[in-house]
């Protein structure tokens, strides 16, 4: 059994009460975290160690920041230098656990379609796809997971007709993510095709979570052979209902490995 999760925490330090409760009651084997909002020195590694986790961190002061924590020791890890990633932005970390490479990404949000950050986002997604191919990771046991900041289909947003063509729900982003992920399988959608299944609810929409006005923009993507071994996948909706929640919640997948 291998349980894998991804969670955009929107500050790891302010999310530790939720992480402690969740991981104590429902431990996962490998957890990818995004938006740490702090450099390595601010990452609560000791608290994770006390819960039985190893950790690798790529931090940044105030913004971005990604980490992977694992109950099994890491066989390897990597913080790659990527030509398509702006200098100083901590958005990608890889770690190898039980023979599987986990590629944890925090894809740029893009701000708006007219912003210069939008083509940066498209190039970033395409760049990750090229990187996975160039490194041979598409032909290996690989899980690409994280906050991809793209909703792919109408069922992935609360109001597709209003949101279509806007950032995170634009056909150009959907196309480039589909091309970048290529043969990989969206493990949540393998097990749950329902509408109204989201991983992000904007703080700024009044009662957005209670009204389930959300987006499904966090993913666990697995190479086909691995995806065949996935038994279930689900959204940990309860974490979004707790005190001081992140605007995202965790996505989890269980593999028969």
Whole-angstrom distance, CA of residue 233 vs CA of residue 181: 18
Q: CB of residue 5 vs DNA: minimum separation in angstroms?
A: 19
Binding mask 23-52 for DNA (x = CB under 7 A): --------------xx--------------
Please give the C-alpha separations between residue 178 and each of 89, 128, 182, 216, in angstroms, as whole numbers: 24, 12, 6, 15
Between 210 and 244, name the residue whose CB sits nearer to DNA.
244
Between 65 and 129, name the residue whose CB sits nearer to DNA.
65
Other beta carbons within 10 Å of 205:
12
Q: Does 74 help bind DNA (rule: CB under 7 A)?
A: no
Tell me the torsion sign for CA atoms 127, 11, 25, 202: negative
Binding mask 108-127 for DNA (x = CB under 7 A): xx-x-----x----------
Contact between residue 105 and residue 91 where contact means Cβ atoms under 8 Å apart: yes
Q: Binding DNA by CB under 7 A: which of 17, 24, 62, 211? A: 62
Contact between residue 146 and residue 66 where contact means Cβ atoms under 8 Å apart: yes
Q: CB of residue 92 vs DNA: minimum separation in angstroms?
A: 14
Whole-angstrom distance, CA of residue 33 vs CA of residue 184: 20
Q: CB of residue 36 vs DNA: minimum separation in angstroms?
A: 9
Q: Does 159 help bind DNA (rule: CB under 7 A)?
A: no
Q: Which residues bind DNA (CB under 7 A)?
A: 10-11, 13-14, 37-38, 61-64, 108-109, 111, 117, 203-206, 244
């Amino acid at each position: 059994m291998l349980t894998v999760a991804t969670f955009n925490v929107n500050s790891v330090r302010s999310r530790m009460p939720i992480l402690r409760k969740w991981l104590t009651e429902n431990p996962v084997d490998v957890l990818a975290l995004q938006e740490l909002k702090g450099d390595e020195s601010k990452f609560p590694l000791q608290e994770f160690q006390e819960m039985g986790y190893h950790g690798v961190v790529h931090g940044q002061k105030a913004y971005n920041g990604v980490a992977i924590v694992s109950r099994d020791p890491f066989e390897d890890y990597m913080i790659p230098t990527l030509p398509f990633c702006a200098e100083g932005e901590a958005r990608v970390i890889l770690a190898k656990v039980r023979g599987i490479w986990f590629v944890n990404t925090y894809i740029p949000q893009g701000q708006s379609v007219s912003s210069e950050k939008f083509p940066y986002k498209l190039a970033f997604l395409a760049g990750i796809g090229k990187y996975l191919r160039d490194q041979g990771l598409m032909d290996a046991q690989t899980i690409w997971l994280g906050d991809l900041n793209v909703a792919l289909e109408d069922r992935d947003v609360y109001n597709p007709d209003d949101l279509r063509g806007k950032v995170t729900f634009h056909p150009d982003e959907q196309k480039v993510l589909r091309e970048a992920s290529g043969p990989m399988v969206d493990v949540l959608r393998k097990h749950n095709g329902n509408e109204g299944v989201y991983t992000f609810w904007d703080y700024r929409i009044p009662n957005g979570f209670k009204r389930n006005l959300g987006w499904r923009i966090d993913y666990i993507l697995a190479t086909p052979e691995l995806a065949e071994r996935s038994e279930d996948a689900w959204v940990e909706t309860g974490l979004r209902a707790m005190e001081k929640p992140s605007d995202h919640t965790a996505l989890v997948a269980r593999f028969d490995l």
